Amino acid sequence: MLSKTFMAPAKINLCLHVLGRRENGYHELAMAMQRVSLYDEITINVGSLAGVRVSCGGLELPAGEDNIAASAARLLLATVGSNKGVDIEIVKKIPIAAGLGGGSSDAATVLLGITELLGLELGYEELADLGAQLGADVPFFLYQHPAWATGIGTQLELLPPLPEVAYLLVNPRIAVSTAEVYQSLQLTKGGEVANLPRFSVVTMADLCATLYNDLEAVTLEKFPLIAEIKELLLDSGAKGALMSGSGATVFGVYDDLVAATKAGEKLAIDNDWLVYPVLPVLA
């Protein structure tokens, strides 16, 4: 049996602009996406017993047919015509339905992990085509670099070098349905779309000026606590703060991990929130 444990990182959206709605119901997006050092742990075992099986430790996660990681494994095996069996054990550290892309990251990690274990000769483009069938964020996690994402989020362009910062992720233990947020979104003329891809170097000031999320107003209507968390982050020394994805996780931008950690410790004293000081994952 072949076995290995892989780390599946979370992501944050440094900006998220909704440019319009397509006829098929998908939305046209422009986003800056960054992986961060909060990880699910995924152990993949490849053996001779046919089928795909998933077990999930940590947070509750649907198993088997409803699990995106299992779907990723089945899709890859079917694509390459393999009758190998795959057992996947997931230890969840990334909160579910939190705007951090945990499920998509798990799916991408399964695609990459099985490809490695079986010695398959599949490049990024082939894996990204499979990933897009599973979810719009999956190709980003396969890309493995900070990216400017357009289209429905699957067209990726490498971002210029980002500043050395730290982030504090704050999740108020609220699960948010991405589908419901998009369904409630009223398309209006939002903020000016960031021009990060055209920068040669991104400074801390550039990064903080980029922070914008068209989905924030929608989620705020239902969960006004998000605005309070943003204010607390700014009061704690964050240079900027934003809700990631469809929420409800909010992140603050700090000069270094020490500052982010201290801010997180203070917030955790008075609130039953999940706090994660993290660093960018660059490669």
Q: Please give the positions annotated as active site.
A: 11, 137
**Separation between Cα atoms, residue 79 and residue 219, nearest integer Å:** 38
Give just the sign of the alpha carbon dihedral 171, 179, 101, 106.
positive
Q: Please provide residue 144's backbone torsions phi and psi, each rounded to the nearest 5 degrees.
A: 65, 30
Q: How far apart are CA 226 and CA 232, in angstroms?
A: 10
Q: Which of 44, 43, 50 is nearest to 85 (CA)?
A: 50
Strands (E), the chain: 2-21, 27-47, 51-58, 85-92, 147-151, 155-158, 166-171, 212-213, 240-243, 250-254, 274-278, 280-281
Per the CB < 8 A criterion, the answer to whether 12 and 36 are in contact is yes
Q: How far is CA 184 from CA 30, 38, 147, 149, in A?
A: 19, 29, 27, 22
What are phi and psi for residue 217, nearest 5 degrees?
-60, -35
